[in-house]
Structure 1
């Protein structure tokens, strides 16, 4: 099926959304002009060698556990995308890890953090390999208008995938955090807008002047418009040993067709010290640990959201991973802070990046929802890979 081609124009919004008073200070910009930082007490800086050395030490002392990837793991289905742009509901399809295709009422189609490769690595022969199959190929997707990238890590930004998307959808527009546009420029991709935290852009899509084809999915009458917002999260970036945090990381909001979505990207919430395995780090003893304040700012100033796509995996061991990766208890706090009415989990079930069991995140998510006083079903859940859910 040939995709509907729409002409895209990106501009500043006619009305400016609220931002926190300190946003103008750009505290997340390093003073030397070389990159970015997490400007909160909830963050603890760890270099890549520090993280690797901690993992090596755990392996040598027998404290590291490799999770089993023997089936059954996460069910994988061939996704059923809508054949036309006509829909009255917000529809999200999980394509593995942090990748969702979201179909908005009114016709907009947005792909978040697509990685359509077997490995999340600079190499095709080395690095984390999928333990669940890809549910589809790029050629199976009928329409993509915008691609939103959270940051430059290989499990979120894939060179072969971006090249293929540009080939399949020549008019697709990419939205990236600051510093990432040069990567797209090197691929001769000019349809790219980079943004800082709290920036907003309007994208207008029109079929005016575009030739009709008999086999293309139908395009609604009139233009499609959306507001894209770049928002904070607590993470880092890098594609080599020499460019750590040189480009920005972000969460994102997308509003179109009367629906508003928040995409959490990849984020931590608080930094947890090394504890005995049996000790609960959300107990009263650790209630004073600082958490990232930006999620409450997002909820207060840009929420509420009809749907949140929130990471729930790659969190163990906590004392290493907690600054940059949320566990389900962090995730339900992020859900509450950002004022999402519903949420789906992501950042699990695809590659082994950490040591928790591969099916543990959704199980712990249910426990965390109960702990938070939220319903265990129907509010914040998960779907199978390739499965769609409407809101």
Structure 2
């Protein structure tokens, strides 16, 4: 057995109430994001206007009739793909992040923690294997290629963020892995036969302790091995996982809309802290803004989501932000739930991330913008805010790793 497999097998986890919960907004106790009567969740801010409205559907239909809708071309070349180079053991002195496509990042923390965010390794992001958006860029690796996974963090239950086949593959390959998801999602994991899942509400925090198991005794779900190559691994790894707000929606069927919560997340371990935006909007832009600069003076009055500044003020700064930049056109329909790069740079500033990488693009055609437009607009947005176009908030090839 390889040293990487051994390192993974030697760790058992303990989850407890956090000893360092961090500050919480004053209005959190009223649970404003909980729908009345305990039936699901809402976005409690003026920045969110529900896009599921007849006026928006009419506008979408008329765009099609008038030939104004764009059908993005996915013929190569699109986003470059390279084979990931994962560290073979838990030893690393830096924070290292590898993009595995769309919203999925694999993060290797100093001290040994290994976290996988929003993994979807299926060809389609759909309840069906034969219908739904298909990848125009293949996954750069398989689950079996990832040597160590301690934690899987799920932002919400949409099919491009939560994949039943992928979760089962992870559970089989890494039986001691711990899953973290927002409220209402644990029952989905349990129904899937996955019992090591923890669900959290916004601003809730948990501590995770990974302890090296006694090789002579083993434990449930572990493989008993003897390999001296693990002696260099830390005897104990600690992490703090925080569930935080974002502006989005949920559903896996036509009948469960907004019945489970959506979230962004923070993970802190080894002296480094990461904020994972998952999938989020920032503002709600009206239909009449179509074709205009919705950050111009005419729309300067539109409210933006206050949660990101709260996150930055109360839980930041973060060494790395993983921030969505794609799936935003048509803007009047997608803006309440998906950030465009101009929103993304504002989110970056609000959350007080020192550096960031763009996610939620480059994998499936979900909306109308051209597939390579998000990174181009990101540079424009950074320049508009007086930030460097490279080295601060970047994108990378699928499968590429960056150190922070």
TM more than 0.5: yes
Say if 2:111 is the partner of 1:112. no
Instruction: Assess if the C-alpha contact under 8 Å between 1:328 and 1:361 holds in 2.
Output: yes
Partner of 1:97: 102
Could you tell me which of 155, 159, 163 is aligned with 1:158?
163
Instruction: Assess if the C-alpha contact under 8 Å between 1:204 and 1:225 holds in 2.
Output: yes
The Cα of 1:337 is off from its aligned counterpart by 0.2
- Once residues 226 and 382 of structure 2 are traced to their aligned partners in structure 1, the CA distance between those partners, rounded to angstroms, is 48
Counterparts of residues 121-270 of structure 1 (less than 5 Å): 121-210=126-215, 211-214=224-227, 220-270=233-283
Unaligned runs of at least 5 residues, structure 1: none
Partner SS state of residue 309, structure 1: strand
Say if 2:21 is the partner of 1:16. yes
Instruction: Assess if the C-alpha contact under 8 Å between 2:90 and 2:233 holds in 1.
Output: yes
- Once residues 264 and 170 of structure 1 are traced to their aligned partners in structure 2, the CA distance between those partners, rounded to angstroms, is 26
202-211 or 332-341, which deviates more: 202-211
306-315 or 47-56, which deviates more: 47-56
Counterparts of residues 47-86 of structure 1 (less than 5 Å): 47=52, 54-86=59-91
Residues 97-143 of structure 1, C-alpha deviation per residue, up to 9 Å, x if partnerless?
A: 00000000000000000000000000000000000011000000000
The Cα of 1:47 is off from its aligned counterpart by 2.7
Partner of 1:44: 49
- Once residues 50 and 12 of structure 1 are traced to their aligned partners in structure 2, the CA distance between those partners, rounded to angstroms, is 45
TM-score of the superposition, structure 2-length normalised? 0.94
- Once residues 305 and 84 of structure 1 are traced to their aligned partners in structure 2, the CA distance between those partners, rounded to angstroms, is 25
- Once residues 41 and 152 of structure 1 are traced to their aligned partners in structure 2, the CA distance between those partners, rounded to angstroms, is 24
- Once residues 329 and 100 of structure 1 are traced to their aligned partners in structure 2, the CA distance between those partners, rounded to angstroms, is 22
The Cα of 1:53 is off from its aligned counterpart by 5.5
The Cα of 1:48 is off from its aligned counterpart by 8.1
The Cα of 1:61 is off from its aligned counterpart by 2.4
Alpha-carbon distance change, 267 to 83 in structure 1, aligned in 2, over 3 angstroms? same
Partner of 1:377: 390
Residues 149-199 of structure 1, C-alpha deviation per residue, up to 9 Å, x if partnerless?
A: 000000000000000000000000000000000000101211110000000
The Cα of 1:41 is off from its aligned counterpart by 0.2
TM-score of the superposition, structure 1-length normalised? 0.97
Instruction: Assess if the C-alpha contact under 8 Å between 1:152 and 1:238 holds in 2.
Output: yes
Task: Number of aligned residue pairs: give it.
Answer: 391
Say if 2:351 is the partner of 1:346. no
- Once residues 252 and 150 of structure 2 are traced to their aligned partners in structure 1, the CA distance between those partners, rounded to angstroms, is 26
Alpha-carbon distance change, 333 to 208 in structure 1, aligned in 2, over 3 angstroms? same
Q: CA RMSD in A?
A: 1.6
The Cα of 1:279 is off from its aligned counterpart by 1.6
- Once residues 159 and 215 of structure 1 are traced to their aligned partners in structure 2, the CA distance between those partners, rounded to angstroms, is 36
Alpha-carbon distance change, 51 to 121 in structure 1, aligned in 2, over 3 angstroms? farther
Partner of 1:314: 327
